[in-house]
Amino acid sequence: MHGRFTGWLGSSALALGATLAISGVVTAAEPAKAVTFTKDVAPIFQQKCEACHRADGMAPMSLVTYEDARPWAKSIASRVGARQMPPWHIDKTIGIQKFKNDRSLNDAQIDTILQWVAAGSPKGDPKDMPAPKVWADDTKGWQMASKFGQPELVVKSPEVAQDAWWRPTTPTGLTEPRWVRAIEIRPVGKNARKITHHALARLQQPEDMPAELFTNDPNVAGDGLFMEWAVGKNGDEMRPDSGRLMLPGSKIAWDIHYHAVGEEITDTVELGIWFYPKGQEPKHREVLALFNTFSGGNRSLDIPPNQVTTTESFVVLRENARIENFQAHLHLRGKGMSMEAIHADGRREMLSQISDFNFNWHNIYIYADAVAPLLKTGTILHLVTWYDNTSANKANPDPDQWVGWGDRTVDEMGHAWLNITYYNDEEFNAELAKRAAAAKVNTDASK
Ligand code: HEC
């Protein structure tokens, strides 16, 4: 992991040296502006880092107090400067930039942190320290309970001793179709939050894919991703009058990644599900599906040694669609992925791109309401992936190895997990009108 960033560290030392020289001048002229931990940095860490970096958090160290953070200053400058931390790896220069779950730092915040490190990481006046942020203990209860009461259905993962990746399935026990309105995943057990790096719950019900949308499209597969547990975001509430349909006989397939913490741990993950009342069917159905970023089936994925390889796929949308999110799934050679819309009139619109993929972080990027792409029937989704199987890719375990499709992390994959709401023409036009009206209000306001 550290190897990945050594190149950057080298140049950062120079950059920091330069910043130091400049800020030295500034500090001499205007001492009041010196950046300190208590005044400037702690508020940023509370807002953007403590969700993971606190005692018992999932990150390797706490960044709550000055004493916690000070020894990590250099590493912080390197990770923050490279936009590797907080983990939010969408390309900031390409495509849509407004997300519901954005946990990244803005340029001013990055600047403040880099200046603080460059100035020798001063503590500052203890009186400037903000009140400690209080975190709900998500191992104790359901956070959504305050809004919806206790979940109607709870699915528990089997107990495991820690392991790298682990993928059991658990039956949901549902005996009739139900519409889901909210979901929450939480770790259970003494050490669960510390060791659970990443937990995905995938709904297995192959008949879930609406045939009229995807029949015969080899680039799209079912087994929708139902919910991802990511630190700082435990629950997912459907949009108004929208839901996900769960069918009898469905199973939850778990994809759980535990950190090695050097002690025997048997903990579980729980999925809580809140349904719409029986008989109440939401108007819109959200469908989660896997969109391959290569064409021709799994066996066609062909990544020769010592070179960069690109693959692409095209999927025609058979109904009007609103794309709710972007999420890339690649393994160790995976370097980047882009998603572009090709409209009926030939206009091409880049929606999103991840240019420096990191296998540790399969982030879901959820578009903000005002900008989630609204795409007409017939629009083509163009997905491109690139794999770096050279030694320049620090995550690459063996650049001399040919790589094909497979489950192991040393094999490859390539797909986007997309959650899409489909609309008939009337509903779609209403959505477009709503969007236009909102845009008009914004322009009027700025006049
Ligand atoms: C979503 C959880 C999460 C958030 C938010 C987060 N981190 Fe991290 N951080 C981690 C995890 C997990 C690791 C270890 C794995 C890795 O490096 O990807 C890590 C690693 C790091 C490291 C490397 C430590 C080392 O071994 O040298 C630094 C530095 C760091 N984080 C700083 C920050 C800062 C500063 C922020 C806020 C501006 C932040 N992180 C926000 C989870 C998080």
Domain boundaries, the chain: 2-128, 147-277, 283-447
Rounded to a whole number of angstroms, the CA Rg of the chain reads 23
Q: Give the whole-angstrom CA distance, residue 328 versus residue 361.
A: 10
The string of pLDDT tens digits covering residues 199-223 is: 667 777 755 556 566 655 667 765 4
Fold agreement between 147-277 and 283-447: yes
Answer whether 48 contacts ligand 1 (Cβ < 6 A).
yes
Tell how far the Cα of 85 is from the centroid of ligand 1, in angstroms.
5
Tell how far the Cα of 352 is from the centroid of ligand 1, in angstroms.
24
Q: For the chain, give the number of residues.
A: 447
User: Which of 174-178, 223-227, 293-297 shows the lowest per-residue confidence on average (mean pLDDT)?
Assistant: 223-227
Answer whether 51 contacts ligand 1 (Cβ < 6 A).
yes
Q: Give the whole-angstrom CA distance, residue 317 versus residue 364.
A: 21
Q: Give the whole-angstrom CA distance, residue 290 versus residue 420.
A: 11
Atom 29 of ligand 1, nearest CA residue: 76
Average pLDDT over residues 386-396: 96
Tell how far the Cα of 331 is from the centroid of ligand 1, in angstroms.
20
The string of pLDDT tens digits covering residues 317-371 is: 989 999 999 989 898 999 999 999 999 999 999 999 999 998 878 788 989 989 9
Please state, in angstroms and as integers, the Cα–Cα distance from residue 387 to each residue in 7, 354, 381, 416, following that order.
20, 12, 20, 15
Tell how far the Cα of 263 is from the centroid of ligand 1, in angstroms.
22
The string of pLDDT tens digits covering residues 228-281 is: 554 445 667 888 888 888 888 888 877 666 554 445 455 677 889 999 999 889
Tell how far the Cα of 63 is from the centroid of ligand 1, in angstroms.
9
Fold assignment, 147-277: Jelly Rolls (2.60.120)
Q: Is 278 exposed, middle or buried (0-12, 13-18, 19+ CB in 10 A)?
A: exposed
- Whether 256 and 187 have beta carbons less than 8 Å apart is answered as no
Task: State the first-to-last Cα distance of the chain, in angstroms, to the nearest integer.
Answer: 49
Answer whether 85 contacts ligand 1 (Cβ < 6 A).
yes
- What single-letter DSSP state applies at residue 72? G
The domain over range 283-447 is classified in CATH as 2.60.120.230? yes
Please state, in angstroms and as integers, the Cα–Cα distance from residue 364 to each residue in 16, 120, 359, 418, 427, following that order.
32, 35, 13, 9, 26
Instruction: Quote the tokens at residue 108.
Output: 């001013």
Answer whether 52 contacts ligand 1 (Cβ < 6 A).
yes
Q: Say how far residue 18 (Cα) sits from the centre of its chain.
A: 34
In degrees and rounded to multiples of 5, residue 100 shows phi and psi of -70, -30
Q: Give the whole-angstrom CA distance, residue 365 versus residue 89.
A: 9
Atom 36 of ligand 1, nearest CA residue: 49
Atom 43 of ligand 1, nearest CA residue: 52
Answer whether 87 contacts ligand 1 (Cβ < 6 A).
yes
Tell how far the Cα of 54 is from the centroid of ligand 1, in angstroms.
11
Q: Give the whole-angstrom CA distance, residue 253 versus residue 271.
A: 11
**Ligand 1 atom nearest to CA at 58:** 12
